Structure 1
Amino acid sequence: MNQTIKIQALTLALVLVSGCQKNEISEQNTAQQPTTSSQKEQVLVKDVKKAVEINKQKTTNAFSNNGEKITFDAPNLVKGTEVFNHAMQERGIATGAIYLTLKENSLPIELSSQYTLKKMTNKNYRYIADKNTDLLKVQNAFKQNANVDVVEIKIDYSPIKEVM
């Protein structure tokens, strides 16, 4: 019986000592963090507002390139713009080249007078845009021509780090 009392007293002492140590640790943690929960909430709200503003400033544009959805985060699609192909799940870079496939073998005068096109094969031509030319505007102009069958902006899918 005497031994049981000693074990109970020892257990009680251990519990009390461990309880004090946990309290001291939690007091030290709160002393190191002077910000209150309301201050933390304010910081979180500010972070969320900044993220929303950044996302508002980013303009994600999309277009169809021969049936594949392509998106980019820039005001205009110009040579060197990084794009994302959703069908392939790959990033790439717009090269500045646009390829046309005509319905007939002859190049229409309205295209040859307005654009410098290089003949690739019988019905296929290539247009190389200047550095600041909006490729989407040119692509849409080609698509509106009744003699044009397919228009495709060339995207380079080589690893971007190697291209840059």
Structure 2
Amino acid sequence: MNKAINIQLVTLALILLSGCQKSEISEQDSSQHSASSSQKEQVLDKDVKKVVEINKQKPINAFSNNGEKITFAAPTLTKGTEVFNHAMKEPGIATGAIYLTLKDNSLPVELSSQYMLKKMTNKTYRYLAEKDTDLLKVQDVFKQNANVDIVEIKVDYSPIKEVM
């Protein structure tokens, strides 16, 4: 009987010791993980600061895209122009697409005759610009129309470094 109790005590001690070792390892892993995530955050902060510094050095053009300030360094905003969204603190690329939402369901004739618009939903249309089209001029034309409610230039914020 004494032997059985001793075996049980040894087994219990081994289980407790192995549990302590696992928690120590997981604590080390979590501290290493938090250190690597803080390093990633520092790198991201440096990237954002670098983009801001580069943008400060170039002549800046700006526009409002659905209430968010967007800047770019090119003379005109065309498809493929690199932009920077100050609200999101993210760089992006102008895709060449402009979305407009109408106040009512009817598309104005002056817009449909001048621009190739594709109906997306009930009141939303998309315009795809050619490569050299000045997107800000097209956006201004759309905004001047009384039946247009919202105009937004589509910007792709996909992380370019991770794609390549």
Q: Show the counterpart of 2:99.
A: 99
Shift in alpha-carbon separation, 1:84–1:109, aligned structure 2, 3 A: same
The answer for the alignment partner of 2:3 in structure 1 is none
Q: 3-state SS of the aligned residue for 2:110?
A: helix
Deviations 1:48-92 (A, max 9, x none): xxxxxxx99932100000000000011000000000000000000
The match for 2:126 is 126
Give the Cα separation in 2 of the matches to 1:109 and 1:94: 27
Q: Give the Cα separation in 1 of the matches to 2:126 and 2:84.
A: 22
TM-score, normalising length from structure 1?
Answer: 0.64
Residue number in structure 1 paired with 2:79: 79
Deviation, structure 1 residue 100: 0.3
What amino acid maps onto 2:63 in structure 1?
Answer: F
TM superposition outliers: structure 1 runs of 4+ over 4 Å: none
C-alpha distance in 2 between matches for 1:125 and 1:85: 23
How many aligned positions are there?
110
1:157 maps to: 157
**Computing the radius of gyration over CA atoms, which structure comes out larger, 1 or 2?**
1
- Determine whether 1:66 maps to 2:58: no
Change in 2 beyond 3 A, CA 1:163/1:60 = farther
**Contact between 1:93 and 1:160, CA under 8 Å: does it hold in 2?**
no
Residue identity in the other structure for 1:150: I
- Alignment partners' CA distance in 1, 2:56 and 2:124: 40
- Indicate how the Cα distance of structure 1 residues 159 and 118 shifts in structure 2: closer, same or farther if over 3 A, else same: same
| Partner SS for 2:137 | helix
Give the C-alpha shift of residue 161 in structure 1: 3.0
Q: Where does structure 2 lack aligned partners over 5 or more consecutive residues? A: 1-54
Amino acid at match of 1:114: Q
Following superposition, the deviation at residue 162 of structure 1 comes to: 4.9
Q: Name the CA distance, whole Å, in 2 between partners of 1:102 and 1:73.
A: 31
Q: What is aligned with 1:50?
A: none
Please tell me the root mean square deviation across aligned C-alpha atoms, in Å. 1.9
Q: For 2:58 and 2:115, how far apart are their aligned partners in 1?
A: 32
Structure 1 residues 163 and 147, CA, compared in 2 at 3 Å: closer, same or farther? Answer: farther
Partner of 1:113: 113
Shift of the 116–74 alpha-carbon distance from structure 1 to 2, 3 Å rule, reads: same
3-state SS of 2:84 partner: strand
Identity of aligned pairs, percent? 83
Instruction: Kindly provide the CA deviation profile for residues 101-121 of structure 1, in whole angstroms up to 9, marking residues without a partner as x.
Output: 000101010000000000000
